[in-house]
Every structure is written in C-alpha cells, then in structure tokens.
Structure 1
C-alpha cells in the first residue's frame, strides 16, 4: 500500500490491519538469548545506521529472541533490564507486529503474548516498506505504572525510556547484520485501535527490523 493511500485512509479513520498470515499462536516462548553473539560494542557503534530496504524473510526465533532481549530484556537476577527506566517504572511495553499477529513482549518470562490475530504491519507506519518487512516494533507507554513520576513529566520520561530501547535495537541490528529504522511519523490512533489499547496507554514510536536487501 502506498504512503498516499495510507494517509488518505488514516484521515478517514479507516487504516486497518490485514488478515493474519499463518497461525496466530496465543503464546510464543522464546529461546534463551545468546549473550555472546554479535560484534563488540565499538564495532556495532561504527556500523549503526538507519535502513529502509528490507527482505521479507522472517527472522529465526533465536534472532528474534536476542533482538527483544537486547531491546529491554532482563539482564540481572533482581529483574533489572537492558534499558533504563526512571524510578524503575518499566512503563514501556514492546509490541511486535508479525505477519501471523501482534504480540506483547513479556520481559520477565521472555515470552510473546498474542494481542491481535491480524497482520498489523501496514498500520504501524505510513512508509510502504513497513507492509512487507518481517516485523515492526511498537513502543507503548503504560502510564499507570508511573505513579511515582509527576504527571506533567510522565510523557517526557516515557519518550526517554523508549529512545533508550530503540538504540538498543539499533546496536543489536548493527551487531548482527540486520537493518532497522525508528519511525515517529505514524498513525497513533490507528495503532492503538488495532492493538486494543486503553486510554491510559500511549503509542510513542515504531521501529522496523529485518534483513537488508543490500548486503554488499
């Protein structure tokens, strides 16, 4: 679907998901991430960049596991995460839009929980490449978790936390030969409706991840 078509549908409130491709498993238990995989940090930083051309090939489950763990997984026995969160509110939920459905990542159990049995990829952004890339991440602020943060500062804090997570995704992608790009030009209302979000949850950003078409 073209960008202009998406814009028009969005203005009419008619940007909708497509039927799921394949089986929408209610629960996906991810394998343990390989914490020794990928390039050293300085080499990953040297390769960090945004990419907008993707192969449609699905990521192996092991790679998806490492991606989500790097984004905001549990990296300590006390439940601490790979990304910071003010006052440890952990207000950011990561949703994964796959061809077979949309899932919420549970970092504590390292599992994916089905929230929508439809293909939400084209809803996650106006750019045409989001429709066929293997997955799109959506970062959602869950404000009830931020009770210790002054109300006037919650949105700013949430954006900072989401930014840290997206950079983790960038570094993982650079380290493992994937492409990624963060996107703020999105139809937040359409995404919220598709994910079944409540009034106190806010869509902040989306991020596409996949194999680059140009591997030279």
Structure 2
C-alpha cells in the first residue's frame, strides 16, 4: 500500500492490519542470545546508518533473539538491561510486528508473547516499505511503571529511554549486516488499536529491521 493511501485511511481512522501470514502461535521461545561476535563498537559506529530498502526474507530465530537482547535484553547476570532507564522504571515495552502476528518481547523469559493474531506491519508507519519488511519494532511506554517519575516529565523520560533502545538496534544492525530505520512519522492511535494497548500505554516510535535489499 502506498503512502498516500495510508494517509487517507489514517485520516479516516481506517488504517487496519492485514490477515496474518502463517500461524500466530501464542508464544515464541527464542534461542539463547549470542553475546559475542559482530563488529567492534567503533566499526559499528562508523557503519551505523538508516536504510529504507529491505529484503522480505525473515530473520532467523537466532538473529531475532540476538537483536532483541541487544535492544533491551537482560545483561549483568539478569540484574540490568542493555538500555538505560531513569530511576529503573523499565517503562519501554518492545512489540514485534511479524507477518504471522504481533508479539510483546518478554526479556525475562527470552520469549515473544502474542498480542494480535494479524499482520500489523502495514499499520506501523505511513511508508510503503514497512508492509513487506520482515519485522517492525514498536516502542511503547508503560506509564504505570513510572510512579517515581514526576508526571510532567514522563513523556520526555520515556522518549529518551526509547532512543537508547533504538540506538542499540542501530548498532546491532551495523555490526551484523542488517538494515534498519527509526520512524516517528506514524499513526499512534492506529498502532495502539492494532496492538490492543491499555490507556496507560503510549506508542512512541517504530523501527523497521531486515536484510538489506
């Protein structure tokens, strides 16, 4: 679907997911993430870039596990995570839009839990490439976890935390030959409806990941 059509549907409140492609299993158990390999940090920084051309081939379960661990997985023997969060709120929840369904990343269990048995990729952005890229990440702030953060600062704190997660994804992709782009031009209401979010959850950003075209 092209960008103009998405804009029109979004303005009408009719931007909707597609039927799932494949079986939407309730939980995807991920392999243990590999914590070694890839490019050295300075080389990854040199190659960090945004790309808007993606091959539709899916990522392997191992690459998906490694990607999500790099984004905001457990490190330091499970006492922390790979992305920072002010006051330890851990307010960022990563949703993964795959052809067979949309899933919530459970870092503690190293698994993906089904939230929508439909293909949500189309809804994650107005750009046409999001429809066919192998996965789109959606970063959501769970404000119920931010009780220690002053109410007037929660949005700013959450966006900073989401930016840290997104940069982790950028560096992982640069180090492993993947393409990615962070996107703020999104229909947040349509995404929230597609994912079945609660009122205390707000959509911040989306990020497309895949093999370069």
State the TM-score, normalizing by the size of structure 2. Answer: 0.99
**Aligned residue in 2 for 1:122:** 122
> What is the alpha-carbon distance in structure 2 between the residues aligned to residue 146 and residue 126 of structure 1?
30
Runs (4 or more) in structure 1 with deviation over 3 Å come to none
Residues 183-198 of structure 1 aligned to structure 2 (within 5 Å):
183-198=183-198
Residue 96 of structure 2 aligns to a residue whose secondary structure is strand
Residue 70 of structure 1 aligns to a residue whose secondary structure is helix
1:2-40 CA-partner distances (Å, limit 9, x unpaired): 000000000000000000000101001100111112111
Residues 143-158 of structure 1 aligned to structure 2 (within 5 Å):
143-158=143-158
Aligned length: 213
- Cα contact 1:79–1:108 (8 A) shared by 2: no
Residues 66-215 of structure 1 aligned to structure 2 (within 5 Å):
66-213=66-213
Deviation at 1:76, TM superposition (A): 1.6
**Aligned residue in 2 for 1:47:** 47
1:102-149 CA-partner distances (Å, limit 9, x unpaired): 000011111100000000000000000000000000000000100000
> What is the alpha-carbon distance in structure 1 between the residues aligned to residue 180 and residue 209 of structure 2?
4
**Aligned residue in 2 for 1:3:** 3
1:57-94 CA-partner distances (Å, limit 9, x unpaired): 00000000000000000002253000000011000000
Stretches of structure 1 that go unaligned for 5 or more consecutive residues are none
> What is the alpha-carbon distance in structure 1 between the residues aligned to residue 102 and residue 119 of structure 2?
7
> What is the alpha-carbon distance in structure 1 between the residues aligned to residue 111 and residue 79 of structure 2?
15
> What is the alpha-carbon distance in structure 2 between the residues aligned to residue 133 and residue 99 of structure 1?
9
Change in 2 beyond 3 A, CA 1:134/1:78: closer
**Aligned residue in 2 for 1:57:** 57
**Aligned residue in 1 for 2:23:** 23
More moved, 176-185 vs 35-44:
35-44
Structure with bigger strand share is 2
> What is the alpha-carbon distance in structure 2 between the residues aligned to residue 77 and residue 35 of structure 1?
12
1:157-190 CA-partner distances (Å, limit 9, x unpaired): 0000000000000000000000000000000000
Stretches of structure 2 that go unaligned for 5 or more consecutive residues are none
CA RMSD of aligned residues (A): 0.6
